[in-house]
Amino acid sequence: MKSQSNKVQSACDVKVYSDKGSLALRFPLRHNALWEALDGKSLRGKPKCLGIGKYGFSADEPDDWKRAASIASQIESDLDHTEWDKLFDRTLAKYGLGGGKYAKLAEIIQLPGTVPDLPEITVGEMWEAYLEWKKTVVEETTFRTRYQTFFSNAVNGRLWCSKSRSFAVSATPLALLKLDGKDGIDKGLMAITISQKNQFLVALSEAFNFVKSKGLIVHSTTENPFIADKFATPAITTQQKYADKVVNGETVKWHDAVDEKALEDDRRAFTKDERDIIIKAFYESECQPERLLAPFIEFQFLTGCRPSEAKALTWKDIDFERNLIRITKSLGASTRNVKKTKTGETRLFYFSEGGRLKALLLEIKGVKTDGLIFADNKGKALSAQKPGINWLGYGGTTSLKSGEKTTYFYPGIVSRLVSDGLISGYLAPYHTRHTYITLTAQANSHNNNALLHIATSCGNSVDVILRHYLGVDESVELVEV
C-alpha cells in the first residue's frame, strides 16, 4: 500500500506525519515546557516530535492514521484544558502509548497528590509573543528596523562586529534563558553592548508585562528581570567623551575640538554661496548618477523638505494653479513604503509665480501628470543610501593578491568641494533643510508673519526658528510697565 506521507489532519494543532515509514506526532510550541520537563533538556524553540511507530502505527495503514489523529486530538484536549495537570497522563498509557521511557520518568516527576513544577518560559518565547503584538502598534519601518532586526539580533545573541564586518554569535544567547533565572539574565544583559541599550531594556520590560497580561508566565512568583536603570548606557559614554574628534576632515584630540551637538540637534547651515556651489557641482558633474540627483538636491535646498518627504512626493501633490506643494507623506527608509510625515500632519508649502522653485518643478515635469517627482532610472523611489553616497562618498576594505588588506574611499561631491577648498566644511545631506530655514528666516527676520509661514510649511515652530535658527538676544533690556 502506498505511503500517506502527506496526510496530516488540520483540525488539531498536534500534527500526525510520516517519518521513515512510521507515524509520529508533532506538538505545537505552547506544549514545549511540559516536554522539556519530561525529557530533561531544552528543545531550543523547536517543536516536540514523538515517534509512535514502535506502538504499531504504520504510515502505510489508513486506519493507523485515523487512530493517531484521534490520539493527537485527545492529548491536545487534555493539555489545553484548565485542569490539564489532572487530565494529562504523563505515562502516555491513557493514550495507548504506555510502557516507554515516559512511564518510568512519570514515577519520578509525578509523585502522588502533587503537580509537576513546569519550567518558566524563555526570554525568546516571551520576545516572539511580544513581536506579534508590537507589529500591530508601531510603524512598519520602526518595527522592522528596531524590533524585528536590531533588538531581535541582541535577544538571539547576534551582535554586529564593525572590525570583522560580520555578526558574532553568543554561546549563551539571551533567548535561551528562562525568565525566572535573574542571575543569568543579568549576566546576559551586561554582555550586550549596543547603542540604544536603554530603549532595548524598555522593550524587554514591556515584553514581560505583555506576556504576563496574556497569562503566558508559568509561575506567579516570576518577577520582571529587566530593570532599565541598572543596565542603561549613558547618553554620552566615557569612551565617547574622551574620543578623538573629526573637525573639517582632520582628527584632533577631544580637548582641542569644539564641542558640537548631536546631528539631530545640529542646525548648522551652508551659506547661500556654498549652497549654490553645491547645486552647480551636482548639475555639472562628469558622473551621471551625481547629475541625476541634482534636481533632488536643489529641491531640498529650496524647500527645507525632509529627505523622506521629498522622496514620497508625486505630481499630484503639486498645484501649479495655486503655486503650492502638499506634503502629506514620507517614504520609509528600510521598507520603502509610504507612511505619514514625521509629525503626522499635512503641510502646504507655497512658492512664488516667477521664482526659482517653480521653474525647477516645471523643468522636471515636462509632460508628466503622475508618478514620483524624484525617482531612479527605473522609475522607483530613491533609496536611502544613494543620495548620501553621492554626497559624502563611499569606501571599504579590499584584499590584495599578497593577502594584505587595504582600505579605499571615493569621495562624493560635497567631500570633494571641501577638499578643494570651495566650501568651508562638510555637513550631512540633512543640512539642506537647516540651510533653507536659516537663510529664509534671516532674510525675513523683520516679518513675524513670514516666520510663522516658514515654521508651518517646514513642520517646525516659531520658537524653534527664533531660538535655534535666528538666535535670541539674551542681552535685551525689557522696558518695565
Give CA–CA dist 211/209, Å, rounded.
6
Written as nine digits, the cell of 320 is 501649479
Whole-structure pTM value: 0.50
Give the pLDDT of residue 113: 37
Sequence letter at residue 167? F
Give the pLDDT of residue 111: 36
Give the pLDDT of residue 9: 47
Give CA–CA dist 227/231, Å, rounded.
7
CA atoms 309, 310, 313, 319: torsion sign: positive
Contact residues for 201 (Cβ-Cβ < 8 A; gap 6+): 189, 226, 227, 228, 231, 232
Give the pLDDT of residue 183: 86
272-283 vs 294-303: helix crossing angle, rounded to 10: 160
Written as nine digits, the cell of 389 is 553616497
Give the pLDDT of residue 192: 84
Print pLDDT tens along the chain (481 aa): 333 344 444 568 899 999 988 999 999 998 888 888 888 788 888 899 999 888 888 999 988 999 899 899 989 888 888 888 778 888 787 888 865 566 555 444 443 333 445 788 999 999 999 999 999 988 888 898 899 999 999 999 887 766 666 777 777 789 999 998 888 898 888 888 887 888 899 999 999 999 988 888 888 788 899 976 655 555 566 666 666 766 545 566 655 554 434 444 567 889 999 999 999 999 999 999 899 999 999 999 999 888 889 999 999 999 999 999 999 888 876 667 788 877 778 888 989 898 999 999 999 988 787 889 998 888 888 887 778 889 998 887 887 778 788 888 889 999 999 999 999 999 989 889 889 888 888 888 777 777 777 777 777 766 666 666 665 444 445 455 5
Give the pLDDT of residue 241: 62
Give the pLDDT of residue 298: 96
Give the pLDDT of residue 1: 32
Helices and strands in the chain, H and E counts: 21, 14
Give the pLDDT of residue 319: 93
Nearest-5° angle of CA 394, CA 398, CA 401? 150
Question: Where do runs of H (alpha helix) occur along 94-163?
Answer: 101-109, 123-134, 140-142, 152-155
Give the pLDDT of residue 260: 37
Instruction: Give 331's strand partners.
Output: 338
Domains observed in the chain = 15-109 (no CATH), 123-231 (1.10.150), 272-419 (1.10.443), 431-470 (no CATH)
